[in-house]
Amino acid sequence: MFEYFTEHAKRAIVAGQDEALVLGHDFMGTEHLLLGLAATPDSTAGAILTASGAGLDRTRTATVQTLEAAGVFGTGAQDARDALSVLGIDVDEIKRRADGTFGEGAFQYPRPAYTPHAKKALELTLREWQSCGHDKEHPGDGIGTEHMLLGLLAEQEGRAHQVLASLAVDEDALRTAARERAGYASGQS
């Protein structure tokens, strides 16, 4: 599926994973997908979020507050590092070598696993893209960040909704702006 994503959408996914790692989370939830979109302000969804008051810094703060209120704190993925250490694999040495070869920050381990809600949001992203008349035979410009935002808004149970609510962001306005940019015919739902 990711082969149909635009470069902006791919960067948003990676940015969301990076945000999860920076926050010490070993999972990728809808809140991290939202952070990834906010972290790409030059993308369609990033611009929509920024204009609505959900820029990266505010969204990151709201995400941390939402997760901490739910009792979710950064873990740093230490369990995976410990398991590899038992096998004689030094993750820090691999990181040092990768940074030396590919540049600082090139290697981050482990990449966070998607939560069921994040997976559902990505499935809904594909459906939103298809609703615009695209498919594998007629991909158009590809699955963009606007489709990701629509998929995220359509997934009703992830924490992204709590984050947006804490920022007093109007989800209907986000949805309307994203649909306009995604090419929905006016009046189509």
How many H-runs (helices) and E-runs (strands) does the chain carry? 10, 2
Homologous superfamily of domain range 2-73+114-182: Clp, N-terminal domain (1.10.1780.10)
- Poorest-confidence range of 9-13, 103-107, 114-118? 103-107
Q: Provide CB contacts within 8 A for 159, sequence distance 6+.
A: 29, 30, 31, 63, 66, 67, 70, 117
- pLDDT over 90 (residue 24): no
- pLDDT over 50 (residue 186): no
Q: Kindly state the tokens that stand for 41.
A: 């302000």
- Poorest-confidence range of 36-50, 95-109, 145-159? 95-109
- pLDDT over 60 (residue 2): yes
**Number of Cβ within a 10 Å radius of residue 55:** 16
- pLDDT over 80 (residue 100): no
- pLDDT over 80 (residue 160): yes
Maximum average pLDDT range among 15-24, 99-108, 135-144: 15-24
- pLDDT over 60 (residue 106): no
For the chain, give every residue range classified as CATH 1.10.1780.10: 2-73+114-182
pTM of the model: 0.80
- Region 7-32: mean pLDDT is 92
**Number of Cβ within a 10 Å radius of residue 32:** 30
